[in-house]
Amino acid sequence: MPPIATTAITLGELAARVGATLDGDGNVVVRRVGTLEHAGPDAIAFLASPRFRPLLAGTRAAAVIVTPGDAAATSLPKLLHDNPYATYARVAKILHPQPAAAAGIDATARIGGGARVDPTATIEPFVIVGARTTIGARAVLGAGVSIGDDATIGDDVHLHPRVTVYARCAIGARSIVHAGAVIGADGFGMAEENGRWLKIPQVGGVVIGADCEIGANTTIDRGAIDDTVIEDDVKLDNQIQVGHNCRIGAHTAIAGCVGIAGSATIGRNVKIGGAAMIGGHITIPDNTVVSAATLVIHSIDEPGMYTGSFPALPHRDWQHVASEFRRLRALAARVAALERALREQLSREGESR
C-alpha cells in the first residue's frame, strides 16, 4: 500500500493552528498521527479515553494530545485541550491533507444540455451530468457518478465514485457523499386496490444541506409530495435507509445500518446507534440519544437516552428468558385477578365491621 501523504510541522505551530495549549518543546517536529500503542518517533498520538491511559508510559510517539488533567501522566511534549479527540481530528487534517483534484472535465464524461459546470470543478471519467444541472466551484465528481436533470451540486462538494443523484435533488456546499450512495430514488409509495398495488408517483426531491456526510451505499428516498430534507452538518454512516419525506435536523449523527421509515422527523443534535429501526410518521426531539439496535415505533416526547435492545446472553440463558417472556401475559392476568379478589375481600371485611 502506498504511503499516505503527510506534512511536517512543529508542535508549536500545530498548537497555534488547532487552538491547543503547548506543554513542552514546541520545536518537536511531527509528520503523522498515530495510536499510543503503535505511533513511531515522528508521530503525534492522543488520549481520549481513561482506559488507554496506561499506554502513555510506553508510547514511542514524539508528542501526545491530552486533557489538562492528564498532563502529569507523561513527560512527552504535548498539546492540551479539553476535547483531545476533536483536537486529534483537526491535527489529522493538517498532517494528512487530501490531495487537490485537477480541475477539468474528462473526455469520457457526458454533460447534458443547459448544464452549468464551474470551471474549477473536477469531472472524472464516465461521469454523467443531466440537463440543466448545476455543478459548483471546486466540486469533485468521482468516476462513474451519475446526476439527473435539474439537480444542484454545491461548491466544494465531493461525490465519490458511483454515487447516483436523481433528478431535482440538491446537495449543499462542502458535503461529502461516499461511493455507491443513492440520493433521490423513489420512496416506497404504494396504494392497494383489489389486491394489487398501484405505484404512487414520487414528485418531491431530496435537499441535503451544507457540511453533511453521507456514507457508502446509504440511500435517501425522494419525497412523495414535499422534499426529503437533511439539514446542515448531518453525518450519516454507511448503509442507512432514509425513507421518503423524512426530515433530519442539523448536527444529527446516525450510525450504520439504521432504517428510518417514511415521514419520520428527527430533531437537531440527535445521536442514533447502529442498526436502530425508526418507524414512520413519528417524531424524535432535539438532543435525543437512541441506543444501537433499538426499535422506535412511537414518537418520543422528551429528550433523553432511549434503549430497547436486550444484551447478548449465553443461548441457554436466552431460552430461559424467552420462555419467561411468553408467560408474562398469563402472569399479568393472574396478578390482576389476585388484586381484584383482594380488593373484594377487603371490601367485604370493611362492610362486616
Model pLDDT, residue 2:
58
What is the percentage of the chain residues whose pLDDT exceeds 90? Answer: 92
Model pLDDT, residue 105:
98
- Strand-pairing partners, residue 305, are 289
Q: What does the pLDDT average to over 322-349?
A: 91
User: Does residue 3 have a pLDDT over 80?
Assistant: no
Model pLDDT, residue 92:
97
Model pLDDT, residue 293:
96
Model pLDDT, residue 347:
87
3-state SS class at 122: strand
**Helix 315-326 vs helix 328-352: angle between axes, to the nearest 10 degrees?**
40
Domain 104-306 part of CATH 3.20.20.210: no
- Strand-pairing partners, residue 64, are 45, 78
Higher-scoring residue by pLDDT: 252, 344: 252
Model pLDDT, residue 331:
92
Domain 9-95 part of CATH 3.30.465.10: no
CA distances from 169 to 91, 120, 149, 151, 198 (A): 34, 22, 9, 5, 24
Model pLDDT, residue 352:
72
- Give dist(CA 341, CA 332) in Å, integer: 14
- Give dist(CA 274, CA 258) in Å, integer: 6
- Name, in order, each residue with C-beta under 8 angstroms of 179's C-beta and a sequence gap of 6 or more: 142, 160, 161, 162, 163, 216, 217
User: Does residue 44 have a pLDDT over 90?
Assistant: yes
User: Does residue 1 have a pLDDT over 60?
Assistant: no
The pLDDT tens digits of the residues spanning 70-117 come to: 999 999 999 999 999 999 999 999 999 988 899 999 999 999 999 999
- Name, in order, each residue with C-beta under 8 angstroms of 34's C-beta and a sequence gap of 6 or more: 40, 43, 44, 45, 61
Q: What's the N-to-C CA distance of the chain in angstroms? A: 91
- Name, in order, each residue with C-beta under 8 angstroms of 288's C-beta and a sequence gap of 6 or more: 267, 270, 271, 300, 303, 304, 305, 306
CA distances from 140 to 8, 137, 154, 242 (A): 27, 9, 10, 24
Q: What b/e readout covers 303-336, taking b as 16+ CB neighbours within 10 angstroms?
A: eeebeeeeeeeeeeeeeeeeeeeeeeeeeeeeee
Longest dimension (CA), the chain: 101
User: Does residue 125 have a pLDDT over 80?
Assistant: yes
Q: What does the pLDDT average to over 35-49?
A: 96
Model pLDDT, residue 252:
98
Residue 191 class from Cβ within 10 Å (0-12 exposed, 13-18 middle, 19+ buried)? exposed
> Strands of 152-153's sheet, edge to edge?
116-117, 134-135, 152-153, 170-171, 206-208, 228-230, 247-248, 265-266, 283-284
- Annotated catalytic residue: which of 178, 244, 251, 298? 244
Is 244 an annotated catalytic residue? yes
Pairing of strands 78-80, 21-23: antiparallel
Residue 269 banded pLDDT, cuts 50, 70, 90: very high
The pLDDT tens digits of the residues spanning 150-193 come to: 999 999 999 999 999 999 999 999 999 999 999 999 999 999 99
What is the percentage of the chain residues whose pLDDT exceeds 70? Answer: 98
Q: What does the pLDDT average to over 19-40?
A: 97
**Any idea where the domains of the chain sit in the sequence?**
9-95, 104-306, 315-352
Model pLDDT, residue 332:
93
- Strand-pairing partners, residue 278, are 260, 296
**Total length of the chain:** 353
